[in-house]
Amino acid sequence: MTAVAPAGFRFHFGAQIIAAEAVHTTPLGYERSSVPAGVPLPIPASAELVDRLSRCSEVEVAFEGKLGDTLLALSAVRALTEWLGLRSTSLTVRATGPYAGLIARSGLVTRTPATASDGRRAVIGDRAAIQARASAASVSLVCDPAAPPCWSSDGLAHADLPARHYLALERRLGVRLPGTAPFAPLLATGQSKLAEQLRSAGWLTGLTIAAITATSWPERKDYTAQRFIELAERIGAAQHSRARLLLIGGQRDGGVHIATESSRRYIQVLHLDGVPVNQLADLFPHCRLVVGNDTGLTHLAAMARRSDGSGPPVVGLYARHSHSKWRTGLTHHHAVATALSDRMHQGDLCPVRDAIAPETDLHVDAITPASLAQIGSDLLNGVR
């Protein structure tokens, strides 16, 4: 579903199907639905890559860059492990680096030791991590978010970054892999000391909304705490319920900062700044709704689910970057996008990579709290 909001921005439902002719795509080179899993593709594999991988005894998953880029690239790790499974190859898959704990939640790794084995090693990850490990690797697979295009197959566009990574590696490996959309793995969650503490203080009961204020580009992508507060107030009023708003910020000097604001008629506000990502992964499933800037913590909220796969709807706010590319592709991960974000989506463009300057000074603030509150209320009521 795509709905036009009063201010001219659009709501894009997470399960929306995008026709190939509606956006700029690159043909995958085969109709994927007609090729059974495990069957060679009608395009050649990368012989050097396959040969080197075939002689490895372990895979190291290493990411050291941005959290969002890391999470959206885990589909490439999934593709590699599924290819190994098709070949009945038993390799150790381990995760290293600052996100090792999160990556382990995906179920894609077999262990996370501090030291490597003595065998031939394949490294998959971002460029910074791979360059640091290049001398010890037999083969490297770089997950560059700027590299894979928006693929099309069977008349459909595969626009989200997890689909791009997965299908790009499938093509290079030359075998139809078993995965189907959505390609992003879910991250397992469990008991959380932070969640227990918040629940005992009354913060996770009733209508709990998490708003992610963290962003790597505040001047362009920050919806601001005040707009999120107005959003939650409006949702509380519409739901005839007192909303409890968790304002989740990024890292700050001095570690974790937790502070409350004065209560208002329809809202209580709690600031959570600098909370480690592993703790946030266990906290998000306890919320009723998550709304956030276009940032890694919003992607994390979409991928962190309970053992039965359940969790809250997640809404990302997109002002300049493509709303379709910078999402997980999961059906509960929705987007509210400005006209510029829609144009980046349609043309498979990037304002940074392609040096596209905005024509106005309006950014994410073009999305009004009133219209966003209507979208949030509809999602809570199961309307959208």
pLDDT score at 90: 80
In a domain? residue 330: yes
Residue 99 has pLDDT above 80, yes or no: yes
**Judgement on whether residues 125 and 199 belong to the same structural domain of the protein:** no
The answer to whether residues 115 and 221 belong to one domain is no
For residue 223, is it within any domain?
yes
pLDDT digits (tens, 9 = 90+) for 29-61: 999 999 999 999 999 999 999 999 999 999 999
Q: For residue 207, list its beta bridge partners.
A: 243
pLDDT tens digits, residue range 209-247?
999 998 766 666 789 999 999 999 999 999 999 999 999
Residue labelled with tokens 């709807």? 313
Q: How far apart are CA 322 and CA 344, in angstroms?
A: 5
Q: Taking the model in full, what pTM does it have? A: 0.94
The CATH number of the domain holding residue 35 is: 3.40.50
Amino acid at 277: V
In angstroms, the Cα distances linking 95 to 58, 99, 321, 360 are: 11, 8, 29, 43
Domain C-terminal end among 185, 203, 221: 185
pLDDT, greater one: 2 or 281: 281
- Answer yes or no: is pLDDT of 361 > 80: no
* Same domain membership, residue 340 and residue 255: yes
Say whether both 196 and 320 belong to one domain: yes
Give the model's confidence band at 379: pLDDT under 50 very low, under 70 low, under 90 confident, else very high. very high
295 and 365 assigned to the same domain: yes
Residue finishing a domain among 185, 204, 237: 185
Assigned domain for 25 exists = no
CATH number for position 271: 3.40.50.2000
Whether 196 and 181 share a structural domain: no
Split into its structural domains, the chain has a count of 2
The verdict on 287 and 164 lying in the same domain is no
pLDDT for 65 beyond 50 = yes
Q: Is residue 271 scored above 80 in pLDDT?
A: yes
- 99 vs 64: CA distance, rounded Å: 7
Asked whether residue 263 carries a pLDDT value surpassing 60, the answer given is yes
Same domain, 88 and 203: no
Cα–Cα distance measured from residue 144 to residue 341, given in angstroms and rounded to the nearest whole number: 21
* Domain range for 100: 31-185
Rg (CA), the chain: 21
Same domain membership, residue 261 and residue 176: no
Co-location of 229 and 105 in the same domain = no
Separation of alpha carbons 297 and 333, rounded Å: 13
- Distance of alpha carbon 61 from its chain centroid, rounded? 17
| Residue 362 domain flag | yes
Query: Does the residue 67 lie in any domain?
Result: yes
> Does 210 lie in the same domain as 280?
yes
Final residue of a domain: which of 139, 165, 185? 185
User: Within a domain: residue 346?
Assistant: yes
In a domain, 51, yes or no: yes
Phi then psi dihedrals of residue 123, to 5 deg:
-120, 130
Q: What is the pLDDT of residue 6?
A: 45
Q: Are residues 43 and 160 in the same domain?
A: yes
Evaluate whether residue 253 is within a structural domain.
yes
